[in-house]
Amino acid sequence: MKDFLEQYEVKLTVRGPVFVGNGREFSKKEYIFLPGRRIGIVDVERIYRLMRKKGRIPEFEKFMMGGYSDLGRWLENERMKEEVMRTCLAYSLDSGDTTLTRGQRTQIMAYMKDPLGKPYVPGSTLKGMFRSILATEKLLRDASGLRQALQREVYQELPRARGRRQYCLSSTASKLEAKIFRTMKREDTKPEDAVNDRLSGFVVSDSEPIDRSRLVLAQKVERRTDGTEKTLNLLRESLCPGTEIRFTITVDHSLCPVTKASLLEAISHFDAAYSDHFLQAYSGFDRLTPPQVYVGGGTGFVTKTLVYPLMGKKDGIHTTVEIFDKTGVSPRHKHRNDKALGVSPHILKCTRYRGTLLQMGLCDVSMK
């Protein structure tokens, strides 16, 4: 390997179920309830072949086009559930601590899988996580006046912000990206051009494929600062606690200055800031124990944004409330009360696994 290239082997150990969605949602006509609190995901091609073999295509298509309660009940009425269970399941998974019940409208979001049907974590997801961590580190340790300049940008842009949340403060976000990462100054380019991004030399692989037996259904639970909880009818296929996510990071030091030591230090500073700015407002949850990271979806606003590292805790609360207000979050969510609570948002994204309330996406990190 060339002298300026360095590769690290990284292992994330899942502490709170990890969800990386593929954009698909399983309808009530694509899964059936199995014994032992398991859910069976049906292979559509197999069940169509079975229905053709049985001469039941018209009845099956009528069911699929209609509003019948669920696939399992229809199969029971047609006396075909046992045969479908034997021959037409793609896979099954533990329904865990979910309150999934028959006849209830429930979303089941599918996990990302490779062509062989095995779950994995894309390198783009992992790199985006590290990018946020490294940006947090830069802002927390800034001694150049960058942070103050960007804060002024926020104060100027926020009153004009409208529309979808991902576009709120987009101008400030672009300037932040340019100032923190796009510093290579290549010839015949503008400073903000992507070709000047130093993290082009920070290459993160997809994770190794993970056995499908590591998937569990995780139900969305919202934990409030007063300890109350709300369980929602949203379930996600997720990697269960104890799962190991393995991948590599290759750093081209001619482009990117990140080292193993500096990355672990950045994670530690991210953990401390997240604990101070947000997590400490929720009773029953300890501070993060570095190095820990949040991976995937459903982990919450604060894990995905730089509002608090940029603005600090007090102004971060004010800015977050304003972002929610400007982007059309319903007043019924009572985000205007967040300033009095001393934290915003006032909901911690969790799930239950084997009777324990866990934060979504929390993982331990080890590198070598």
CA atoms within 13 A on the CB side of 310: 25
Q: Is the pLDDT of residue 334 over 90?
A: no
Q: Is the pLDDT of residue 100 over 80?
A: no
- Of 9-13, 193-197, 310-314, which range is least confident? 193-197
Per-residue pLDDT at 165: 54
Q: Is the pLDDT of residue 57 over 80?
A: yes
The residue that leads in pLDDT, 196 or 366, is: 366
Residue 57: how many CB atoms within 10 A of its CB?
A: 12
- Of 98-107, 323-332, 335-344, which range is least confident? 98-107
Q: Is the pLDDT of residue 327 over 90?
A: no
Per-residue pLDDT at 171: 74
Phi, psi at residue 359, to the nearest 5°? -75, 135
pLDDT digits (tens, 9 = 90+) for 18-49: 999 999 999 889 999 898 889 999 999 999 99
Task: Specify the residue for token string 């923190």.
Answer: 180
297: left (phi over 0), alpha (psi -120 to 50) or beta: beta
Q: pLDDT band at residue 239, thresholds of 50, 70 and 90?
A: very high
pLDDT digits (tens, 9 = 90+) for 63-77: 988 876 789 989 999
Give the span between the Cα atoms of 79 and 73, in whole angstroms.
Answer: 10
Kindly state the average pLDDT of the residues 85-110.
83
Cα–Cα distance list, 36 to 23, 92, 102, 105 (Å): 28, 11, 15, 21
- Of 53-62, 97-106, 220-229, which range is least confident? 97-106
For the record, the structure tokens of 343 come out as 């934290």
Kindly state the average pLDDT of the residues 264-271.
97
Closest CA to 1 of 269, 217, 203, 302: 203
Phi, psi at residue 279, to the nearest 5°? -65, -35
Kindly state the average pLDDT of the residues 299-303.
94
Per-residue pLDDT at 162: 64
Per-residue pLDDT at 233: 87
The C-alpha angle 65, 68, 72, rounded to 5 degrees, equals 110
Task: Output the average pLDDT for the chain.
Answer: 90
Considering all CA atoms of the chain, what is the largest pairwise distance in Å, rounded to the nearest integer?
Answer: 74
Task: Write 288-293 long-range contacts (CB < 8 A, 24+).
Answer: 288/362, 289/364, 290/264, 291/264, 291/267, 291/364, 291/365, 291/366, 292/15, 292/267, 292/362, 292/363, 292/364, 292/365, 293/12, 293/129, 293/133, 293/267, 293/362, 293/363, 293/365
Cα–Cα distance list, 74 to 59, 64, 84, 94 (Å): 10, 10, 12, 22
For the record, the structure tokens of 317 come out as 């609360």
Q: pLDDT band at residue 263, thresholds of 50, 70 and 90?
A: very high
Instruction: State which of 117-126, 171-180, 312-321 shows the largest mean pLDDT.
Output: 117-126
